[in-house]
Amino acid sequence: MSLAQKLKIALLQVGATADKAANLALVKAKVTEAAANGAKLVVLPECFNSPYAVTAFPKYAESIPEGETTQFLSQLAQDTKTFIIGGSIPENADGKIYNTNISFNPRGELIGKHRKVHLFDINVPGKIRFIESEVLSPGNKATVIDIEGYGKVGVGICYDIRFPELASIAGRKGAFAMIYPGAFNLTTGPLHWSLLGRARSNDNQLYVLMCGPARDMTSGYHAWGHSLVADPLGQIITEADEKETIVYAELDPELIENTRATIPITTQRMFGVYDDVAATGKCSAL
Ligand SMILES: O=C(O)CCC(=O)C(=O)O
């Protein structure tokens, strides 16, 4: 059983401004609201405490776990008795900056840390140029974390979803969901956002949770929004528009088990023909 019991989740589609204190205050209000509505696991977007801009990352970067945002989320998880999959924040470590997810259990303990492995370096002339590697360094491992009482989830950040391997590793380690805080844009969002969510869920017969910021056309980065949940059959079961909102879903263990029993690709893999990425990948929670 990959998911031990039903799990109500919430995706917080909130934007971030240049005011870090205001960003954290908004997160606090929305996590509290989601918990009051019964969510046990809450997901935040990529870069929820800073503007999404390479020029902003050095200024907003914090150390983990000593920094303000780690302490803030730890306390919030305790206060609301939720698991928090803390989107991502710019992290300062060893003279480098990473785009890093931090996740907490309801006791406020740091249970997962994922540094974005695949940096968002693209150039679509006339549409979007974004080169994270001008400032950021990449992470070097897949991340699978234990959600006590429920099972395991894999975590990737935004552009990571384009590389199926992280989800494959999580799926083969028994994850019931792959969670991607993200911030797609108005060029690649309509093209690929929901397609990638459906693809990763269908590949691995697990839930995919994608949480993006609300769109703000006055900011320097126009986010796609559209936070969504894809089920183990590869269907989108709920999807937001671009505005600030909370997306709720109930994850059902029976749907995972039925999908895997009736279309049994998880037991039909031919590892003699291709390498088992789960056996060779580097993976840990922290
Ligand atoms: O893959 C894309 O098209 C968008 C990725 C992105 O926005 C990111 O990695 O932050």
Classify strands 142-147 and 151-155 as parallel, antiparallel or unpaired: antiparallel
Q: State the catalytic residue, choosing from 20, 30, 113, 116.
A: 116
47 is an active site residue = no
Give residues with Cβ within 8 angstroms of 282, minimum separation 6: 140, 141, 142
| Residues within 6 Å of ligand 1 by CB | 46, 120, 158-159, 162, 183-185, 188, 192
Q: Pick the closest to residue 206 from 157, 239, 170, 180 (CA basis).
A: 170
What is the structure's pLDDT at 276?
62
What is the structure's pLDDT at 279?
61
Number of domains in the chain: 1
Does residue 255 lie in a domain region?
Answer: yes
Residue with the two structure tokens 């840990």:
284
DSSP annotation of 3 reads: B
Which tokens in the block code for residue 52? 């999404």
Q: Pick the closest to residue 179 from 167, 168, 191 (CA basis).
A: 167
Q: Phi and psi at residue 276, in whole multiples of 5°?
A: -80, 105
282 is an active site residue = no
Does residue 149 lie in a domain region?
Answer: yes
What is the C-alpha separation between 107 and 149, in angstroms, rounded? 13
Reported for 26-29, long-range contacts at CB under 8 A and 24+ positions apart, including other chains, are: 27/76, 28/72, 28/76
What is the structure's pLDDT at 280?
67
Ligand 1 atom with the smallest distance to the CA of 184 is 7
Q: Pick the closest to residue 233 from 257, 215, 267 (CA basis).
A: 257
Residue with the two structure tokens 């799926």:
171
What is the structure's pLDDT at 272?
81
Q: What's the domain range around 43?
A: 7-284
The H or E element spanning position 20 is: helix 20-36
Check which CATH number belongs to the domain holding 269 and give it: 3.60.110.10
**In 3-state terms, the chain is what percent helix, strand and coil (to 5)?**
30, 30, 40
What is the C-alpha separation between 28 and 176, in angstroms, rounded? 27
Does residue 1 lie in a domain region?
Answer: no
Q: Pick the closest to residue 213 from 23, 20, 8, 7 (CA basis).
A: 23
Cα 137 to ligand 1 centroid, rounded to whole Å: 15
pLDDT tens digit at each of 286 positions of the chain: 799 999 999 999 999 999 999 999 999 999 999 999 999 999 999 999 999 999 999 999 999 999 999 999 999 999 999 999 999 999 999 999 999 999 999 999 999 999 999 999 999 999 999 999 999 999 999 999 999 999 999 999 999 999 999 999 999 999 999 999 999 999 999 999 999 999 999 999 999 999 999 999 999 899 999 999 999 999 999 999 999 999 999 999 999 999 999 999 999 988 888 866 656 678 899 9
Does residue 160 lie in a domain region?
Answer: yes
Q: By the 8 A CB rule, do 247 and 30 touch?
A: no
Does residue 2 lie in a domain region?
Answer: no
SS3 174: coil
Give residues with Cβ within 8 angstroms of 191, minimum separation 6: none
30 is an active site residue = no
What is the C-alpha separation between 156 and 243, in angstroms, rounded? 23
